[in-house]
Chain A
């Protein structure tokens, strides 16, 4: 069996391992009985003693499997899911917390990005200008002019590649079109900035929520970890397991959050145009990375604490 077959057909690998070791034990028993190294009625026991602990040998054989880490990872995830199922309210709070944080933040950021930060959706937005008609002597500064004036300017165009007019708006001073758009959006920019601030706050709050929920959940399972330690689990193993299982609700929350983003952005994009879906995906990914980091960072101290527990104390005091 190759390593991936062993991973996929674990039951068969286990059966073969058991059969192989038992075959050895049987041969050893026969040897002891035949050579007279042990009395016939005691051969089996002597062979078993000489052979050593079947389960320990099996465990050592499992440890040399190349996909062992993957195997353990899968088992931790499965176990983590069962723990989540056992405490549905915890699961709900953790997931709701994160999906709100990720969803709202990504949506708000992608909209404010399109409105505030990104250049206009034209090929060379910095070359777009608005033409003003100014006359300081007569205190004139406007962008309106008659059709005859437009046709006149349009016919003698030399500085620009094109000139267009629109209702309800003539030419001696020049301002970048971008500035004008920005001015005209000023009344909408301000709320958007506030909105973005609140979104950032939302992410921080959800991070705080993740931290609380993760450390609480680990503290609740002190006894379980104590028993595992007493049974011989290594602190390293428990640490890895605690971290993986803390990431589980985080991952679920982020996934839900991303789904919420798509919907929220559609609602918010009525406030603005030019929202790029591909860009949105990048943003979502970035917004989802943060909670995962937060979950890892906040789970780490708690996980270390449970992994370095003294099993005796935990079992005695509960």
Chain B
């Protein structure tokens, strides 16, 4: 994969992406990394050195709850799920992301000469 095909995540968006993936149901770290990769069609690739500190930070803030459960490999794995606080935070971040994305899109794609 050419490096140019990957994008750096804007500051703070990783939290939202993680919350969004976890919202679909309890999932372990590897699963989160994989879903991020496939859902974004390989555009978003999160390094483990970024993913795990972020997961632990979200857990510490009480947005994610973790539980060790038996998994498909036969070993116990740490499954993350969204807490009520996490769901509220996700809605909040989604709204602010939509606002920002809309603003950026209108600046980039807005018809020329429409500026006041």
**Pair from one complex:** yes
Residues of A that sit less than 8 Å from B by CB:
1, 3, 16, 19-21, 23-24, 26-28, 30, 51-53, 56-57, 60-61, 63-66
The answer to whether A23 and B60 have CB atoms under 8 Å apart is: no
Tell me if B97 is interfacial: C-beta within 8 Å of chain A: no
In the assembled complex, which residues on chain B have CB atoms less than 8 Å from the CB atom of A61?
52-53, 56
Whether B57 pairs with A64 at a CB distance below 8 angstroms is yes
List the B side residues contacting A26 at CB < 8 Å. 73, 75
Alpha-carbon distance between A52 and B51 when the two chains are bound, in angstroms:
12
The answer to whether A64 and B48 touch across the interface, beta carbons within 8 angstroms, is: no
Greatest chain A CB density within 10 A among B48, B49, B71, B75 is at B48
Within 65-80 of B, Cβ neighbours of A (below 8 Å) are at 66, 68, 71, 73, 75-78
* Number of residue pairs A-B, CB distance < 8 angstroms: 57
Q: Is the CB of B30 within 8 A of A16?
A: no
Contact A19 B78 (CB under 8 A): yes
In the assembled complex, the Cα of A27 lies from the Cα of B35 at a distance in Å of 14
Task: Provide the residues of chain A in CB contact with B4, threshold 8 Å.
Answer: none
CB proximity of A96 to chain B, nearest CB, Å: 44
B26 adjacent to chain A (CB < 8 Å): no
Q: When A20-B78, A27-B73, A57-B48 are in contact, do A65 and B56 touch as well, CB less than 8 Å?
A: yes
Known: A23-B73, A24-B30. 5 other contacts (CB 8 A): A21-B48, A24-B28, A30-B73, A57-B53, A60-B49
Tell me how far the C-beta of B111 lies from the nearest C-beta in chain A, rounded to whole angstroms. Answer: 44
Question: Is there contact, CB below 8 Å, between B47 and A23?
Answer: no
Report B10-34 residues with CB < 8 Å from chain A CB. 28-30, 33
Pairwise interchain contact B57-A28, C-beta atoms closer than 8 A? no
Which A residues lie within 8 Å of B56 (CB)? 61, 64-65
Q: Is the CB of B60 within 8 A of A60?
A: no
- Listed in ascending order, the chain B residues whose CB lies under 8 Å from chain A are 28-30, 33, 47-49, 52-53, 56-57, 60, 66, 68, 71, 73, 75-78
**Cα distance A143–B82 when bound, in Å?**
89
Chain A residues contacting B66 (CB-CB under 8 Å) are 1
Q: Which of A3, A23, A53 contacts B28 (CB 8 A)?
A: A23
- Across-interface contacts of A66 in B (CB, < 8 A): 60
Smallest CB–CB gap between A27 and chain B, Å? 4
A52 touching B47 by the CB < 8 A rule?
yes
Q: Is the CB of A52 within 8 A of B48?
A: yes
Q: How far is the CA of A60 from the CA of B29 in the complex (A)?
A: 15
Q: Which residues of B contact A19 (CB under 8 A)?
A: 76, 78
Q: How far, in Å, is B51 (CB) from chain A's closest CB?
A: 9
- Kindly list chain A residues whose C-beta atoms are within 8 Å of the C-beta of B52: 20-21, 57, 60-61
B14 to chain A, nearest CB (A): 13
**Would you mind naming 8 contact pairs between A and B with Cβ atoms under 8 Å apart?**
A23-B28, A23-B29, A23-B78, A27-B73, A52-B49, A57-B49, A57-B52, A64-B57
Distance of A1 Cα from B59 Cα, bound (Å): 9
B21 to chain A: closest CB distance in Å?
15
Q: List chain B residues, Cβ under 8 A from A28.
A: 30
Query: Nearest-CB distance from B85 to chain A (Å)?
Result: 13
Residues of A within 8 A of B33 (CB): 24
Output the nearest chain A residue to B53 by Cβ-Cβ distance: A60
| Closest Cβ–Cβ distance, residue A232 to chain B (whole Å) | 15
Give the complex CA separation of A3 and B60 in angstroms. 7
B84 to chain A, nearest CB (A): 16
